Every structure is written in C-alpha cells, then in structure tokens.
Structure 1
Amino acid sequence: MRSIITYLIFFISISNVVIAQNPIKIGIAGMTHGHVHGLLGDKNNKDIIIVGIAESDTALVSRYQQMYHFDKSIVYSNLAEMLDKTQPDAVLGFGNIYDHLSIVEQCAPRGIHVMVEKPLAVNSTQAKKMKSLADKYKIELLTNYETTWYGSHEKLYEEVQKGTVGSIKKVMVNDGHKGPKKIGVEKEFLSWLTDPKLNGGGAIIDFGCYGANLITWLNKGEKPISVTAITSQLQKENNPKVDDESIIILKYQDQVGVVQGSWNWPIGRKDMEVYGEKGVITAENHQNVNVKIATGYNTYDQEDYQIKNREYPYNNPFSYFAAVINKTIEVQPYNLSSLENNMIVVEILDAARKSAQSHKEIKLN
C-alpha cells in the first residue's frame, strides 16, 4: 500500500514539474487595457510564460517595466513583428475593443490562439469576421470576464440547475462603478474606454456585456426574443462622447432579464439575482451567495453560503486558457468564455445600442 502511495506522490510531483517546465508561450497584444495588471502581476503562474509584448506607447512600456520588471528585449512596436520573432502559442489582447479583430486577423493564419478582454468585439460585423477566422484556422478564441472566475456564480448556477427556486422568471445583473475617470483609471485606458469607436459605446458596452454573458450562460445559449434599452449621460463633463448609464431588458419566452450597467454607482458592484417561482438566489459578490425560499407573502427561509475560490484551473483565466490549449479541458458550448456565448453577447449589445438610439424594442432573429 505504501509503495502505491509513494508512486502516486512521485507521479503527481513529476506531472507538476512537466507543467512547470512546459508553460504556454504567451504574447501580449497591447497594454492600454487596465486589466493587463492582472497578467503582469501573476508572476507565480507556472502555466504560462510571457515571451513577447506588442505596444507602441514607449512611455507606457517604460512605466510598466519599472513596475513589473519584465525584460525590455521582449517588447516590440507592432504585433506582426512580435508574433514572427517570438512565435507564441497564444496571444492575450489588452488593447481597445476595436482592435480585437486585427489581433485575430494576424494571429489566426499563424495558428495562434487568442483570448481577449470583454467584450469579444465592438459589433456583430467584427465578431462574425473573428469567428470565421477562428473556425477556418481552428484556433481557440475566448473572451475573459472578471465574473467568469467567481465561485459565487458557479454556486448560483448549480442551484439554478438543481431547481432550488423553481422555474426562473427574472434575472437581474448589476455591474459598474462611479465612472472610469472618477475611479482614476490610467489615461491610456480612459482615452479609448470613453471613445464610441474604440470601445463601441460607454457603460452599455463596458458593463452591459457582463449581464448579457451571464444570462446567456444561465439560459444555455438561448437568445432573447427582443432587446429594449435606454441610455443616459449623467456625467457629461467626464464622458462627453458616450453613455454612462444603461438599462437593458431582455425578453425571453418565459422569463425576462434586466441588465444594469452603469458608471454612476456610488459603490462599485458586480452582483446578480435570479428569481424563481419559489424564491431568489443572490450572488452578492465573488464569494457570498444567499438563497431565500418563500414561506408566505413577505416571509422566507434563508440560507447563506461563503464560497471559496474555484478549483484550479477555473480560478485563473490564464491557467484556464493554457489548459484549453493543452487540451486538458474542453470549452463547453455557451459557457462564459466560449465563442458561442460571446457571439450572442455582441448581438445583444448591438440590439441594445440600436434600441437606445431608436427608442424601440428590437427583435432578434
């Protein structure tokens, strides 16, 4: 028995060494997205190694190099040169959303996998071109959301699938903060985040995408019948070119979704509520979930959960991406990172923009 246990320990140790010795080679496309700090600061991740960075802003590169101490020899002024010189297995996009198409156009023919920060694209026209390239060259094309890695959302999903609160009637997702300028995002990030071309819009895109992504996941890829949205500009001095307040209503066959993406919340939030016939499940943040089961008109039994981090590699976007590339896990259809889900997200955002501009309900095909 002892020999078997010893063998297993040895095998696991050897396996871990192999993983550490053979990390996925990662290239970074752009550094103007503030989420790049999550990658540059993930120094203990043994699943990846950064072999190249494409960024033309030399001042930005110098600032980040002083913070994270990466070798400046891996920095290139354009993506094509970085790809040819370093030959990464995969690229992570940390620039503006409009440039996501260009990243895929350059990576896909080279057989290089891509993960971009949310949302997938600024519009469905670009998203369809990206999907076509990914399908043609058989690369993985994933979208990264902070909320994908929340243990609370995993617990909420499990309770929904178990039927804990019965048939779902309404899902409400609330995301945002007091605004990018007010929270002090870096100037390079702010410049495109508040640009209607480079970001596709304001809060309706930046935070509306979270709710569209989560509701599409809960509904296993079902599209809404129609989309109705309103936007407002409540901080004209800070966001002169884009909306900073949005409400999107998604009508399904037997439920509704309400997505509130805002740059006007006094306190930052990423929470969601799922209302069923018997009760409500609330994911208050990344780890706290409560389930309320109705007992009367306004009474209920409540159970609270404090969720630990998700299990490896589902606790880290870069480890997850590496596992997908290594084919140790498979991206499930319509899950939060999947291309199928995020094509629908962009379609919903397109319709929401159109609805807000026309003041009409937009039906989806």
Structure 2
Amino acid sequence: MKKLITMLILFFMCIGYSQDPPLKLGVAGLTHGHVGWILSREVQSDINMVGIVETNTELAKRLSEEFGFSMDIVFNSMDEMIKAVKPDAIAAFGNIKDHLIIVQGAAPKGIHVMVEKPLATTLEDALKINNLAKKHNIQVLTNYETSWYETNVKANSLLEQGTIGELRKVIIRDGHKGPKKIGVSNEFLEWLTDPELNGGGAITDFGCYGANLMTWITKGQIPNTVTAVTQQLQPENNPNVDDDATIILTYDNKMAILEPSWNWPIGRKDMELYGTKGAVYSDNPTQLRLRLSKGYSDYTEETFLLPERDKPYDDPFSVFANVINGNLILEPFNVYSLENNLITMQILQAAINSAKSGTTIKLETN
C-alpha cells in the first residue's frame, strides 16, 4: 500500500513539473480592431500578457478602462517593453506595415511573433520576415479568423477522403459592408484605408483569406497564373484604396475564384469546393452542406452543424503557446505557417500587380 501511495505521489509530482509555465506575452500595438481578442481573453495557464507597446496614450487609456489592464504595463517602444518585461512572445495588433519592424526587433532576441493577417504588406517584406525567422530560429505565425472554423477543416477532410471526387473549382468569399460602414474605430480605419500601412484595401484585407485557404487545401501549390480586377465603389469612404476585388487563380487541374469585398450587404467568410462528384459548402463557422451529384441536376444534400474546434485549435493564442513550447507540431502549409503565408503573399502581390497592370501574372511554380 505504501509503495502504491509513493508511486501516485511521484506520478502527480511529474504531472505538476511537466506543465509548462505561462508564456510571457507582449502586445505590439492596440489600433487593430481584433486586439480585443487578447485583451478580453480569460485567464488561462498558457499565456500571461505582461506588456503593451502603444504610443497613442489616449487609446491605451480608453482600452485600459474597457478591459481592465494597468497602464503600468504600457510602453512607448518595443525596446522599452522588451527590456522591462522580457517577453517570450509578441502578438502584433497594429498596422500591417509594422509587422516587419516588430519581427526585426523581436527575432534577434529569440522572441516569437504572431501577427494578424496578412503576414505583410508586400512580398518583399514577407521574405525579409522569413529570413529573420530562419536566421534566429523563431516562430512567426499568422492568425486568420477562418483558422478557427471547424467547417473548413471538415470540408478539406471530405475532399481528402474523395467524397466529392477530384477538386476542380473553389470559390471563396470574404468581407462585409466596409470598415467605415460597420463602425470600426478611427484608429483602425486610419490605417485600414492607407495603401502603405495596409498594402491595399479589400484585396489585401480579405483577399488574403482565400489565398491562405487555397495554399492549405493544395498543400503548398503555387498557382500558375493570377488575374485580378479591383474597383472603388465607395470613394467617399475609401478614397485611397480599392474596396472590391475579384482574384482568379489557375492551377494545372483546378481553379479558384476569390471575392474579397467591402461591399457585401452581409458580413461573410464562406467557401465552396466543387469536385467531380459533388460539392461542399462551408456556409459559416458552424454550418456545412454536402451535395452529391445524381444524374444531370439532381443531388442529395446533407447538412452538418459543427461545434467549435477542439483545444488548442479553438483559440489562436493557445495554438501559439503550444507551438512555442513544442507541444504542437503543425502540418506543413497549415494556415498559420510561415511557408503557407509566403505563398499567400506571393499570390496577393501578383493580384495587386495584375489589377494595376490589367494583365495576367504568371508565377514560377517550381
């Protein structure tokens, strides 16, 4: 009996010692509308927010009152925050152009980084980020809301199982009425509609979702060609950037149509996969429909109502912590990965160039 008790004590001690301590997380910027995801996150054992970089004191005070963090952890620069709190990781919640600057400040110190989509404003910046990550052996993840959708995972699983046959066409639609119309903060709107700070308008803000998902679905295939057109349908609200785009990607045996827009009457992030036997519709985060062909126009339809993704995939910060701690090894070309998002940026850069030049851009597919 004593031997059994001793073994149980040792077992529970091992469990206690094997648990990773909370990662110290710094937050770089507060202007991104998604920053509430970390500021409102319930206390968990994986990540502890220890510092914030924000030069807009008024904004910091406003969010401090809303979310309850102390102004004592707010700093004016990355160097100041890193020196004071020594973070293990940094989450970027400012403009997209600053992603490179954040990685330049973090990588040499071995600090991991997660940015909000897209990875960068240009392919040139994305390649610099990649070089820094490889040189200093850090993780750089890119967070997309659609990474959390169980419907996308189910759709891809049905495709891989051969349920809808060989993939022939993908249609991905993302967007909303436009940042001003949905009432984003002035600080967010200011850089979202700046072509330098955001890389473009809807073509980058929402075009990245489809490019990211296609790169995941195709396991890292680079499209043969990229053709894009953009329009500005709300010049009064978005005077310096596009607010509507269509991007066509061609591959050897399939194609994709991406429709990012700030002109959808209803916010959406949905995906349709069309195969030789049927189609899958990811309508939203929880509803998926499967149609299988019967003859010319008849079909069977099954609707799936799905839960949130299992832990740690239900929360991007949990994914970030588990990847850093080595508890989670993500699949090649997964939606968070640097290798995926380099191709995503290659597609976005080609789309921007295509829209500007009015030509189809051919890519080196190796």
What TM-score range do you get, normalising by the shorter chain?
Answer: over 0.9
Per the normalisation by structure 2, the TM-score is 0.95
Q: Distance in 2 between the 1:57 and 1:12 partners?
A: 47
1:361 partner amino acid: T
State the partner residue of 1:184.
Answer: 183
Post-superposition shift, 1:10? 10
Q: Distance in 2 between the 1:17 and 1:204 partners?
A: 48
State the partner residue of 1:336.
Answer: 335
1:91–1:113 CA contact under 8 A, matched in 2: yes
State the partner residue of 2:287.
Answer: 288
State the partner residue of 1:82.
Answer: 81
Deviations for 1:315-364, whole angstroms, at most 9, x for unmatched residues? 10000100001100112210000000000001100000010011100001
Structure 1 residues 339, 33: CA separation in 2 closer, same or farther (over 3 Å shift)? Answer: same
Structure 1 residues 29, 285: CA separation in 2 closer, same or farther (over 3 Å shift)? Answer: same
2:127 partner amino acid: K
2:69 partner amino acid: F
1:235–1:244 CA contact under 8 A, matched in 2: yes
Post-superposition shift, 1:24? 0.9
State the partner residue of 1:71.
Answer: 70
Per the normalisation by structure 1, the TM-score is 0.95
Q: Distance in 2 between the 1:214 and 1:157 partners?
A: 10
1:137 partner amino acid: H
Q: Secondary structure of 1:56's partner? A: coil
Q: Distance in 2 between the 1:292 and 1:126 partners?
A: 41
Match status 1:237 vs 2:236: yes
Q: Structure 2: any 5+ residue segments left out of the alignment?
A: none
State the partner residue of 1:140.
Answer: 139
Q: Distance in 2 between the 1:172 and 1:304 partners?
A: 19
1:45–1:319 CA contact under 8 A, matched in 2: no
State the partner residue of 2:195.
Answer: 196
Deviates more, 1:327-336 or 1:232-241: 327-336
State the partner residue of 1:209.
Answer: 208
Deviations for 1:24-58, whole angstroms, at most 9, x for unmatched residues? 11000111001100111112332110011000000
Aligned residues: 360
State the partner residue of 2:167.
Answer: 168
2:270 partner amino acid: D
Identical amino acids, percent of aligned pairs: 50
Q: Secondary structure of 1:301's partner? A: strand
Match status 1:263 vs 2:262: yes
State the partner residue of 1:362.
Answer: 361
1:283 partner amino acid: S
Q: Distance in 2 between the 1:38 and 1:130 partners?
A: 24
Deviations for 1:220-271, whole angstroms, at most 9, x for unmatched residues? 0000001000000000000000000000000001000000000000000000
1:30 partner amino acid: G
1:282 partner amino acid: Y
State the partner residue of 2:326.
Answer: 327
Deviates more, 1:80-89 or 1:198-207: 80-89
Q: Distance in 2 between the 1:234 and 1:57 partners?
A: 32
State the partner residue of 1:58.
Answer: 57
Structure 1 residues 177, 197: CA separation in 2 closer, same or farther (over 3 Å shift)? Answer: same
Structure 1 residues 156, 345: CA separation in 2 closer, same or farther (over 3 Å shift)? Answer: same
Post-superposition shift, 1:296? 1.9
Q: Secondary structure of 1:271's partner? A: strand
Q: Distance in 1 between the 2:82 and 2:278 partners?
A: 52
Post-superposition shift, 1:297? 1.5
Structure 1 residues 13, 171: CA separation in 2 closer, same or farther (over 3 Å shift)? Answer: farther
Q: Distance in 1 between the 2:91 and 2:295 partners?
A: 50
Q: Secondary structure of 2:33's partner? A: coil
State the partner residue of 1:93.
Answer: 92
State the partner residue of 1:41.
Answer: 40
